[in-house]
Amino acid sequence: MNLFRGGRLNRVQALLGKILRVKPVIEMIDGKLELVKKERTNVACMDFFMNIVENYVSRYKKVYLDIININMPDWGTKLLETVKQKFQQIDIHLTDYLSPVFYSHLGNKGFGIAIVAE
């Protein structure tokens, strides 16, 4: 519903998303939060994140990953353990707080990643 209130979804999309329990994947592109993908399960979201991490690891020497969980500690921990198990060379940090700006756009529940590489 926060995506609807923020103007990223219309009323019909928001209603269908709520009924079907669609999980939106949001990415910051050029300083703006954009809807880039819709998944039906948290597992599919986690797989999407793992593909991004794998892409970075294959292209860069040093990868820094911040796993973010907002009121979903089980999924944050599950993502952390999966990344640690598959990619030992990544520098990983766990965050459970975002600024109010993100809360107003994304809501108060979710998990995701922030990734930087050199």
Instruction: Find where tokens 């700006």 sit.
Output: 101
CB 61 within 8 A of CB 98: no
What are the domain boundaries of the chain? 2-117
Distance of CA 82 to CAs 22, 36, 56, 71, Å? 23, 23, 16, 19
Burial class (CB within 10 angstroms; exposed 0-12, middle 13-18, buried 19+) of 85: exposed
CATH number of the domain at 2-117, out of 3.30.1180.10, 3.40.50.300, 3.20.20.80, 3.40.50.720?
3.30.1180.10
Instruction: Report yes or no on whether pTM surpasses 0.85.
Output: no
Give residue for tokens 């500690």: 73
pLDDT in tens, 6-52: 776 788 888 887 888 888 888 888 888 788 898 989 999 999 999 99
Q: Tens digit of pLDDT for each residue in 45-78?
A: 999 999 999 999 999 999 999 999 888 889 999 9
